[in-house]
Structure 1
Amino acid sequence: MAVLQSHLWFAPWAAPRARRLPGIQPLDPADWLHVDDAFAGQMALRDRLIAEAPEAVHALLPSARPAAAELYARVLDILRTAPGYRVAAGAVTRPDGVVVALEPDLPLLTLGRLVQADLCLMEAQGAQHVLTGAILCFPAGWSLDEKIGHPLTRIHTPVPEYDAGLAARVQRLFDGIHVDRPMWRANVLAYADADLFTPAREGAPRPRPVGPAPYVRSERQCLVRLPRTRAVVFSIHTAMVRRAALTPAQAEAFEALHGAPA
């Protein structure tokens, strides 16, 4: 059964000024982690993936344990005052009523069951930022085991738009993220189906929709600097909506980017 949002509640790509890659803009720190109307369905899927295939959705290098611990503490601190959450000494009750045991020794796996956003840890090593840990339940065409331990340029190897110029801009962006000035952007793509867990191997052929794609997938991607370890958290809140659910302005912008439905 498809897990869909009723509407797309973020669409910065609808503004022409935000379409030039990487299309970044400031983020209010209080506006980082969201609960939307697909929370219960997405969290049930996350629970199942983490229980049945943790090796497919989780990775953490030993060197990244301090950053993971800092992120764990940061998110729990946010949830203490977040609407719908109840944080107790050993467990958190989510807005959907599910009680999640707190396991600080498994920080990313625990966080993956608490919030809708996937969470990736990027840490500076030499001149680049390297993916050192992640809980990634909703990959859009990539596999965590191929990317963990690699820098940004290697992670984006199969992306044709990620040329040397864009790579340099993105690296400057990561270098320049301030603790008190997080940033965000969003992408948007047409999809033939509504599957959220869509990993793919590098070099594997990508299926193309036959006819008009009925779904729109958009990722709200945030960049947040942790103050102690200086790691950058790259969070990905995935929305999947029916194309017909776009507002007229969103539909017009989407068609300008990807073409009108056939």
Structure 2
Amino acid sequence: MPWMDPVSAKLPGIRPLAPEDWIFQDEAFAGQMRLRDGLIERQRSTVHALLPEAFDATQELLSETLSLLMKNGSYLFEKDAVTRPDNCRIPIKFDEPLITLGRLVQEDFVIHLPEGREHVMKAAILCFPASWTLSEKIGRPLSGIHRPVPEYDENLAARVQRLFDAIRPGQPLWRSNALLYEGPALFQPRREGEMRPKPASRPYLRSERQALLRLPKSRAVVFSIHTTVVHVDQVAPEALKAFRALHP
């Protein structure tokens, strides 16, 4: 578990990631993909955002992801479509790159482009938000995105920006986080200023495997999020004890 590792337990907790491990597939794949398909069909404007200047980067991201999935072995490729491991056939639409990506893999994707002294969120497919809302964050720099987070002070903001500036193509990085939630829902948006509920019990552990990748052509930084939710009863006792020590 990430919180048991001294490196990942401290913010920002970044570690190197092998390029072939950037996209991650687990036993929740089929269920998560059904949910993603439904959200994209019924709530597209909520889970998808794209500013015009990021369109080329989103196409590049789709190309990079398809190249990686071709080596996966569990995806079946045709000329204009891909069949997922759950046997669902997805048309490949380069005019809707993020929509296509959102239906191919479990990851959410957020694309940042450099602008001035910071990187700015320019596009995203976000089916599984964890207490934030895409429409509020799109177009903001990193400092504005994290404004409501108490731990994101000036020192941490500077460290994160240096990280975004330094990341190189072909050398992705990753970190993880974990929080307790009242329920297992993956789609949990919350607007800034909206009070976080304080339930008597929070028996679900939600963890995000977050990766950073530099696209070689557009130089955009891609922030990918793979979400896992389990009941605390499924977590090993020693791991749960370590988590509660960090989050009393």
TM tier relative to shorter chain = over 0.9
Gaps of 5+ in 1: 1-10
Q: Does 1:248 align with 2:242?
A: no
1:166 aligns with 2:160: no
Partner of 2:20: 30
Partner of residue 80 from structure 2, selected from 66, 90, 99: 90
CA displacement at 1:84 relative to structure 2: 1.1
Q: Name 1:135's counterpart in structure 2.
A: 125
Aligned to 1:224, what secondary structure does the other structure show? strand
Question: Offset of 1:244 from its aligned partner?
Answer: 1.1
Which residue matches 1:5? Answer: none
Report deviation, 1:96.
Answer: 0.5
- Aligned to 1:68, the other structure's residue is in SS state helix
TM-score scaled to structure 1, two decimals?
0.93
The number of aligned residues is 248
SS at match of 2:144: helix
Distance 2:32 2:75 in 1: 16
Q: 1:181 is aligned with what amino acid?
A: Q
Displacement, 1:209? Answer: 2.6
Name the CA distance, whole Å, in 2 between partners of 1:171 and 1:249: 34
Matches within 5 A, 1:15-164: 15-164=5-154
> SS at 1:18's partner residue?
coil
- 1:217 and 2:198 are equivalent in the alignment: no
Give per-residue Cα distances to partners, 1:145-175, cap 9 Å, x unaligned.
Answer: 1100110000011111111111011111111
CA RMSD of aligned residues (A): 0.9
Give 1:242 deviation, angstroms: 0.8
The DSSP-based 3-state class of the residue aligned with 1:238 is: strand
C-alpha deviations, 1:201-237, integer Å up to 9, x for none? 11110112313x2100000000000000000110000
Q: Taking structure 2 as the reference length, what is the TM-score of the superposition?
A: 0.98
8 Å contact from structure 2 (residues 8, 176) kept in 1: no
Residue from 181, 190, 199 that aligns with 2:189: 199
The question of whether the paired residues in 1 share the 8 Å contact of 2:208 and 2:228 is answered with: yes
Give the distance between the partners of 1:150 and 1:257, measured in 2 at CA: 30
Correspondence 1:184 to 2:174: yes
- Residue 252 (structure 1) shift: 2.3
One-letter code aligned to 2:204: Y
Contact 1:123 1:232 in 2 (8 A): yes
Mapped partners of 1:152, 1:17: distance in 2:
22
One-letter amino acid of the structure 2 residue matched with residue 125 of structure 1: E
CA distance in 1, matches of 2:101, 2:117: 29
The answer to whether the Cα contact below 8 Å between 1:79 and 1:87 also exists between their aligned partners in 2 is no
State yes or no: 1:13 paired with 2:7.
no
Residue 59 of structure 2 aligns to a residue whose secondary structure is helix
Shift of 1:33: 0.4
After TM superposition, give the deviation of residue 79 of structure 1 in Å.
1.0
Aligned partners of 1:14 and 1:249 also within 8 Å: no
CA–CA distance in 2 between the matches of 1:209 and 1:66? Answer: 43
